[in-house]
């Protein structure tokens, strides 16, 4: 199961890297598209594990592979200097972990990131075919809507409730809350 979760996160990172590569080969076709710098940079992070989860039992998955988390939840990981990256803090033997979509553009720089229940809910919505993009400017705009959506806040509560279950992704309340959050964000973006 840990292997499948690792494969899922690595697969998402690979898809994002391939898409970013092809986007960087073309000139922007609109004011929303910007070329991306694929070179990695190191970022510091903090895992705020849910109740009952020891942060050291998680492994951070990033562009550089897997890294450990110290007893205070701190870690180092590699992300794109200019673009969209995905970080995951995965428990051993489980396909569901803490996730964070990190967006860096020439205009913004994050010195550290937090992986927690809220970032996981936000990322779950963003990493769907409806919203996922490698364009950092567009990703920031979409994430701004996702972060303030009340249905995504409700999804955060559900993620917290199901996180320690054996298979949170198959929980009906998680699936329903995710679908409701996606629908709500779609409506907000189309207004």
Task: Report yes or no: 59 and 89 within 8 Å, Cβ to Cβ.
Answer: yes
Instruction: Give the pLDDT of residue 32.
Output: 52
Q: At what angle do helices 136-148 and 117-126 cross, to 10 degrees?
A: 120
Report the 10 Å Cβ neighbour count for 118.
20
Answer yes or no: are the C-beta atoms of 35 and 129 closer than 8 Å. Answer: no
For 37, the domain range is 2-189
What gap in Å lies between CA 172 and CA 180, rounded to an integer?
12
- Domain count of the fold of the chain: 1
pLDDT along the chain (191 residues), means of 10: 46 43 43 59 92 92 88 91 91 90 78 93 97 94 97 98 93 98 96 87
**Are the C-beta atoms of residues 79 and 60 closer than 8 Å to each other?**
no
CATH of the domain at 24: 2.60.40.1120
Distance of CA 176 to the CA centre of its chain: 20
Distance CA 156, CA 125 (A): 11
């Amino acid at each position: 199961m840990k292997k499948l979760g690792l494969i899922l996160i690595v697969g998402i990172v690979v898809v994002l890297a391939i898409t970013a590569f092809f986007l960087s080969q073309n000139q922007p076709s609109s004011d929303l598209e910007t070329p991306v710098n694929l070179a990695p940079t190191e970022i510091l992070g903090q895992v705020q594990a849910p109740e009952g989860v020891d942060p050291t039992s998680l492994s951070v998955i990033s562009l550089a592979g897997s890294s450990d988390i110290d007893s205070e939840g701190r870690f180092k990981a590699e992300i794109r200097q200019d673009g969209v990256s995905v970080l995951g803090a995965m428990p051993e033997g489980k396909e569901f972990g803490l996730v964070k979509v990190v967006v860096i553009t020439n205009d913004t720089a994050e010195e550290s990131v937090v992986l927690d229940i809220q970032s996981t809910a936000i990322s779950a919505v963003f990493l769907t075919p409806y919203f996922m993009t490698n364009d950092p400017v567009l990703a920031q705009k979409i994430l701004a809507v996702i972060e303030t959506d009340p249905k995504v806040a409700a999804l955060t509560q559900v993620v917290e409730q199901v996180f320690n279950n054996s298979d949170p992704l198959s929980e009906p309340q998680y699936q329903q809350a995710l679908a409701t959050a996606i629908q709500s964000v779609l409506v907000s973006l189309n207004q």
